[in-house]
Amino acid sequence: MSAESENPPSSDGQEPLPPHSESPDDPSLTDISGLRDVTNDDLLDTLELSGFPSCEYASVTSAKNGTATVTFKENRICDEGNVDALGDMLSALVETYGFTDITIDFAQVDHYSSSAIGKLIRLDKKIRTCGREQGEEGKVAVVHLINVKPSSAEVFHITKLDQLFDVQEQKDEAPPAYLPASRQAQAVSSTTLHAS
C-alpha cells in the first residue's frame, strides 16, 4: 500500500497530515500556554497547576505573571535522587515555562543537604542568565526563600547565601494555611513539643 493511498488529499484542498502526526485542533492535545497565569485560589486552579512539573519534595502552588511559588512538601530534603529530581523540576520552571522570579516556601523544611542548596544556586544562575537574555539584568534577587526557620536562616547568613537569595525568616509558629487540617494539627503539636 502506498503512502498516497494512506493519506489522500482532503476535500478542502489542504495537504494531508503525515502519518502519526496530530492536528493542532486535536482536542486530545493539551495547551499549557495559559498555565503561567493561574493561581491556587480554587480547585480548578489546582487542577491547572498539576500541569507543572513536580517531584517528591516539592510542587508549584501558584504561578502568575512570570512568578512561580514552589512549596516543599517534606521536612527532610536530603535524598540525592529526589534532590536531583528537584533540580530538574526547578530548571524546567525556568527553561520550559519561562519563569524569571521563583519563591520557594521552606515552611516544612527542617533539614536539607548541601546538594539541595546547590540546586537553588543553579536555579538562581539560570534565572539570572534568562533575565539577561530578556533584558531584566537589574534584578537584585530572583529566588526568594520564604518561611525559613531561624536555624536555616542563620546558615544562609553565615555562608553569605542571604546575599544571593532573598531569605525571609518564618515569623510565627502558625502552620501554613495551605496544609490540610491533619498536617496543621501535626505542625502545631510539633511546635508545642519543640517549645517545651
Report whether pLDDT(149) > 80: yes
This prediction's pTM = 0.62
CA-closest candidate to residue 162, choices 174, 148, 177 = 148
**Unique residue bearing C-alpha cell 491556587:** 40
Q: Over the stretch 2-18, which tens digit does the pLDDT of each residue have?
A: 444 455 554 555 555 44
Backbone angles phi, psi at 115, to 5 degrees: -65, -40
Report whether pLDDT(90) > 60: yes
Residue 62: its H or E element: strand 58-64
Calculate mean pLDDT across residues 30-56: 55
Q: Can you list the domains of the chain with their CATH numbers? A: 34-195 (3.30.750.24)
Report whether pLDDT(130) > 60: yes
